[in-house]
Structure 1
Amino acid sequence: MSQLSRPSRRHIVAALLALPVFAPRLAQAQSSLDATSLGVVGDSGADQSPALQLALQQAAAAGQTLRLPPGVISVRNIEVPGNIIVEGVPGRTRLTAPVDTNAAVIADRGNVVLRDIDFAGGNNGLIIEFSDDIALERCSFRNSAIGVAITDSGVTIMDSRFSELDDAAIHAMDSRGLLITGNRIDYCGNAGIRIWRSQTGPDRSIVSNNRIANIDWRDGGNGQNGNAINIFRADEVTVADNHLSDCAFTAVRLNTTRNTIVSGNVCLRSGEVAIFSEFAFSGSVIANNLIDGAATGISITNLDSGGHLATCTGNIVRNITPTSPVNPDTMPVGIFAEADTAITGNTVQTVPGVGIAAGYGAFLRNVLVANNVVSATRIGVGVSVVEGTGPVQVSGNLIHATEHAIAGLAWTDIVEPDLATNAGRFDNVSISGNSVGLAP
């Protein structure tokens, strides 16, 4: 019997290269249609809507990829059909729309890819509604109110650029699961990415590896604007590995969410709270984020609205500012939590207030503060000790503060400056195994 020889790496690679390639159905179009053959002209200055609409319909009917010419193509309210790939010339094809219209609309369609197209002007660069399997690749959006407005759709947006938008880069309502990845967003009037729902429910969107900067709050308010990423009533959303800087309010804001993950994000120079889990949230995982510069680092709050259940683990929080330029009610705190939350394994440094705060007034229930490193703070760990508070445990932390290592608080007042020694005065407080010290 002959002995079977083990295949070499070269043989394996050769075999893999010989296998058929199974690409998505849209990518297998056998031919392409040049839009110029049907009268679509770049830089003409004339309205190209009729010619482009005809070209889109013919390409979709024939299963062809539609290739747009370079230059500025003036359009209004183009209706993109399903089962089509539309490609521009990278960096050279631009669709522009008048201020009272939209450049293009995808409505009740499926299997659409738009690639290497710049959208400028109009109320919205692109509207997508009641559609699925929509992909935007290497596109750009600027000088409109919203770059991409999404309603009840499943969309992938990747490697695209959003800039100089009056309201938001991406606004999504009642999504079917979005993938927003690898995009660059800057200079937006009110928001970077908003994922909202009309009613609380599963959304399952993923927002990852984006760079978002310079988000303003032109329409004012106390937190609904000025956020890089805002998740509202949308459950089961992941926000991971994004670089978020210079936002008027918040880098990542979760409002009334369930089972949401916020991990691995870099959050720089937030005007209010860098990472916020607020109102009727439940099940927030906030882990391994880096926060440098904010009025509050992480806030897990609103027990009064049912907000509870979170883990806050492995984060670095540093350089908290004394006040917020946009919200005078914000207090200088590194990490804050109220209910059913484990705050473990974090590093907090340089806070002109409380490094880690458990509860505010009577709003405290089942909070664990354990195995954290806290230094260069006025108060290392602050625990609410007013009547009616629930259990809290502070254990195994390494704390160096300038005034009080572990203090008991009544709202904002220090009522027990040495809580580690006098924890027995408060039935709800358990303190053990901390290494504490005061440093100038």
Structure 2
Amino acid sequence: MQIGRRQVVLAGVGLGLAAMAGPRLLAARESEPQAFSTYGIVPAGGELDQTATLQVAADAAAQSGTPLFLPAGIYSTNRLDLKSGTHIHGVPGRTILRYRGGGTLLSLKGASNVRLAGLVLEDGGNALDKDGALLAAHDAKQLEIADCRVLGSGENGITLRQVSGRVRDCEFANIRKGALFSEDATGLQIAHNHLHDCGDNGILVWRSDAGEDGTIVTGNRVERIEAKSDGTGQNGNGINVYRAGSVQVSGNRISDCAFTAIRANAASNCQMIGNSCARLGEVALYADFAFQGAVIANNLVDRSAVGISVTNFNEGGRLAVVQGNLIRNIFIRKDVDSRGIGIAVEADSVVSGNVIEAVPTFGILLGWSPYLRDVNVTDNVIRNAHIGIAVSVDPAAGTALITDNLIVGSKDGAIRGLSGPTPVGPDLARESAEAYRNLAVYANVVR
């Protein structure tokens, strides 16, 4: 290829401009602050108390705007109070802040724009305050916790009150009580964390009074959650939503919990979508007590005492869509009064497009005694249940529409009425339901 005079001239001009700009760019770079600073901090192997030097460095980072970088190693410290604008970065898995005392390890009150990344927060065996946590934040805006590990807390892992921001890509392990607790959030996302081997709960999203919350809980892996503090359901949950409205819980993998994978208690407009749940001791997906509005869709449940329960109409619990879920391998657990049910609903609900297989009692249970109102059950596949669909025929019970379901292998009838816990009358999939004024049953297929 021939190079013309024009290209040669332009190339020369470009080289000249680059030569002139080079020293200026170098001088500009030298005058700019470094991306990170250690502020003279070096690890001391966990033997020395480094609280004072760490606090000075954190305060300097907040004031200067240059993030504090902590090299790999162990830093033993009492409580550190973080101010607005504090950014602390470490080497993921290798920069360890070890708790010595002071009630909590990291504390934020009224701070904004705080970022913590690549840190290990570790309980050093010194007692936290009762119901305390390794990290406690109150009235914090735009808090970001990323790529951190929270390990071995004798109380809670992280406690957030009135906080906005994100907790993402972190690990929580060997926490005595709850791994991650949020109350009265103001715009929070909890995403892509791994929580395992916790004593009471995984993720808790609560409000002090019932109201809209809007926290997004997505893409987390939660496993091996016990109920060491006992109770009848307040502990032993992978994800627990309490009085917090409009919370979205989606795309999580939850397994091996003593009680529930996702429990929304008195939490209106909660969505549980696309979660994978396995080996749960009680109800896998639970909407209960005084709520209005729940969407439980496209989830997979494999092995639990109850697959899905939408209940407590007597307490105001109503209004739900239960759609497109796959539920299988349900078992009976008598010690917590769980009856081996696939799906149970009570009021103002649609149950459609679900596949339910291997259930020892009822594939779908509609209502309980008088607690039934306006339920539509259509287009479900139920295989190998003791009774395919059971529906309350109590004189005070409301209306149920049961149509276009495929029910295979039911041992004691495809569709049966219930008086309290007792099946009554004929199989309504094969004989008329005209004797029950509250039921419309037609076009179901039974094999």
Identity %: 36
Alignment correspondent of 2:163: 153
In structure 2, relative to structure 1, the CA distance for the partners of 1:77 and 1:44 (3 Å cut) is closer
Inter-partner Cα distance in structure 1 for 2:440 and 2:262: 32
Q: CA deviation at 1:46?
A: 1.0
Alignment correspondent of 1:12: none
Letter in 1 for 2:57: A
Q: CA deviation at 1:61?
A: 1.0
Inter-partner Cα distance in structure 1 for 2:182 and 2:142: 15
- For the residue of structure 2 that corresponds to 1:101, the secondary structure is strand
Inter-partner Cα distance in structure 1 for 2:297 and 2:68: 44
Q: CA deviation at 1:44?
A: 4.6
**Are 1:51 and 2:53 counterparts?**
yes
CA contact (8 A) 1:301 1:308 kept: yes
CA contact (8 A) 1:213 1:247 kept: yes
Alignment correspondent of 1:266: 276
More deviation in 83-92 or 297-306?
A: 83-92
What are structure 1's unaligned runs of at least 5 residues? Answer: 1-28
Alignment correspondent of 2:392: 384
**Are 1:375 and 2:398 counterparts?**
no
More deviation in 367-376 or 100-109?
A: 100-109
Inter-partner Cα distance in structure 2 for 1:146 and 1:337: 34
Inter-partner Cα distance in structure 1 for 2:100 and 2:230: 27
Inter-partner Cα distance in structure 1 for 2:294 and 2:46: 52
Calculate the aligned-residue CA RMSD, in Å. Answer: 1.3
Alignment correspondent of 1:35: 38
Inter-partner Cα distance in structure 2 for 1:80 and 1:417: 69
Alignment correspondent of 1:91: 93
CA contact (8 A) 1:308 1:339 kept: yes
**Are 1:168 and 2:178 counterparts?**
yes
Alignment correspondent of 2:370: 362
- For the residue of structure 1 that corresponds to 2:398, the secondary structure is coil
CA contact (8 A) 1:207 1:240 kept: yes
Inter-partner Cα distance in structure 2 for 1:341 and 1:347: 17
Inter-partner Cα distance in structure 2 for 1:101 and 1:42: 22
Inter-partner Cα distance in structure 2 for 1:42 and 1:344: 61
Inter-partner Cα distance in structure 1 for 2:284 and 2:99: 36
Q: Alignment partner for residue 192 of structure 2, among 171, 182, 186?
A: 182
Inter-partner Cα distance in structure 1 for 2:151 and 2:426: 54
Give the total of aligned pairs: 406
Mapping of residues 256-405 of structure 1, within 5 Å? 256-323=266-333, 327-400=335-408, 401-405=410-414
Alignment correspondent of 2:66: 64
CA contact (8 A) 1:228 1:252 kept: yes
Letter in 2 for 1:117: L
Inter-partner Cα distance in structure 2 for 1:433 and 1:378: 21
Q: CA deviation at 1:100?
A: 5.8
Inter-partner Cα distance in structure 2 for 1:396 and 1:152: 47
Q: CA deviation at 1:328?
A: 2.8
CA contact (8 A) 1:40 1:51 kept: no
Q: Alignment partner for residue 201 of structure 1, among 183, 188, 211?
A: 211
Q: Alignment partner for residue 226 of structure 2, among 192, 210, 216?
A: 216
Letter in 1 for 2:182: A
Alignment correspondent of 1:26: none
Letter in 1 for 2:398: G
Give TM-score, length-normalised by structure 1: 0.90
Inter-partner Cα distance in structure 2 for 1:99 and 1:73: 13
Letter in 2 for 1:72: I
**Are 1:250 and 2:260 counterparts?**
yes
Query: Which protein is bigger by CA-based radius of gyration?
Result: 2
What are structure 2's unaligned runs of at least 5 residues? Answer: 1-31
Inter-partner Cα distance in structure 1 for 2:234 and 2:428: 37
Letter in 1 for 2:234: Q
Letter in 2 for 1:196: W
Letter in 2 for 1:129: H
Q: Deviations over 1:366-403 (max 9, x none)?
A: 01110000011100000110110000010000001122
Letter in 2 for 1:93: T
In structure 2, relative to structure 1, the CA distance for the partners of 1:44 and 1:256 (3 Å cut) is closer
Alignment correspondent of 1:238: 248
Letter in 1 for 2:114: V
Give TM-score, length-normalised by structure 2: 0.89
Q: CA deviation at 1:322?
A: 2.1
